Amino acid sequence: MEAESASRETDTPVESIQEAPVFSILHTEWSRSWGGQAQRIVLECRKLMALGHRVVIACQPHGLLFQKARENGIPVEAVTIRSQLDLRAIRDIYRLIKKYRITVVNTHSSKDNWVGSLAAKLAGVPLLVRTRHHPVPISNNPLNFVHKLADGFTATGEAVRTMLITGNRIPAERVLSVPTGVSLERFSPGIDPLPLKRELGIDPATKIVTMVGRLRSGKRYDLFVDAAQLVRNELPDVKFLVVGDGEGAKSIQRKIAEHDLSKVVLMTGYRADIPEIMASSDVVVLTSDSEGVPQVLTQAMAMQRPVVAAPIGGIPDLIKDGVTGLFADAGNARSFADKILLLLRDDSLSCNLGVAARQHVLKHFTDDVMVGKTIDFYQYLLKLKHRSTAG
């Protein structure tokens, strides 16, 4: 029975309430990087503020999240988090809770989950929620008791939700899948691809295959380069873009050099103009071994780009094989190359997949859908908590 409940998002009875209360929400984040997790926090906070809710982010000083929050006009406070039981960080977050009269604390990473949860409980915050971004099991060691303090969990996909329910025995009614939404203000068809191609020195007629993300081992850029070599053997004029930065940059550069692909696979480094990157791409690929519901795919699909990825983690929530994108076998460069070649050779298929992909995103994966589900879930958890206390 429990396994059945874990497989369906609708098992969490979220009610839609028209006149929602105004929440005062504190998001905590330990990581300094600007990956999908941090980007979701900023996107969610912007939408919450637009709906009239009060938000503040507590994160590490000198990190990109701190900088990006300021650039987006989001209230942000620097809190140095050194360890899971950093007493000064607990004190600082406790003070922020009191200063901003916080009614919801939403934690995101392991270390900030410890300090944020303990501060929330000490301060008597009405609602403590943890967002779980990755399909990685939470340890059930009795010493790792902090996840039991949360009133509810938002998971970034059904695979993550299922893991929390079956692996950590979190009651199904307290876990909701809320995939990261995409901003239609930024990611919509119609952007001119030519300026970016000119900047990169790519002929306007040349087809481009792109992968966007942080350069780390789990993204399997080595697989992307191997697939590029296989495609090159059949379509030598195609260009491949590696967009992003990170600790894996040097190993990717070595891989490109080993395959003599320096004129075929271009590393752009970090780019803020991702909509323009997508608009210039004929195929968007994700070769990761582990993902929730990755933003790079929702962004590409919102722009009607055909996508190729493996059916791992939360990706099957997003891609319906042959309908909104194509699946390749995880870890198999030949499989990825074959799907890329199919799309490069069949413009009609690429167009049909792109149109269906955008419609799928419009219905299920926009930032409006994400924030609407989040606020409804907050209200539902408060009612659930009230009934439990009253009973």
Cα radius of gyration rounded to whole Å, the chain: 21
Region 194-364: CATH code: 3.40.50.2000
- 105-123 CB burial, b ≥16 within 10 A, e <16: bbbbbbbbbbbbbbbbeeb
Numbered ranges of CATH 3.40.50.2000 in the chain: 2-181+367-390, 194-364
The pair of structure tokens assigned to 28 is 């905590």
Distance CA 105, CA 107 (A): 6
CB under 8 Å to 273, separation ≥6 — which residues?
196
Cβ count within 10 A of residue 5: 18
Q: Which CATH class is domain 2-181+367-390?
A: alpha beta
Distance CA 249, CA 279 (A): 24
Angle at 146 between CA 33 and CA 374, to 5 degrees: 65
Angle at 133 between CA 41 and CA 168, to 5 degrees: 135
76, 70 in Cβ contact below 8 A?
A: yes
Q: Read off the amino acid at residue 46.
A: R
Per-residue pLDDT of the chain (391 residues; tens, 9 = 90+): 333 333 334 344 444 434 568 999 999 999 988 888 999 999 999 999 999 999 999 999 988 999 999 999 999 999 999 999 999 999 999 999 999 999 999 999 999 999 999 999 999 999 999 999 887 888 989 989 998 999 999 999 888 999 999 999 999 999 999 999 999 989 999 999 999 999 999 999 999 999 999 888 889 999 999 999 999 999 999 999 999 998 899 999 999 999 999 999 999 999 989 999 999 999 999 999 888 788 999 999 999 999 999 999 889 989 999 999 999 999 999 999 999 999 999 999 999 999 999 999 999 999 999 999 999 999 999 999 988 776 5
Nearest to 113, CA basis, from 133, 99, 95, 141: 133
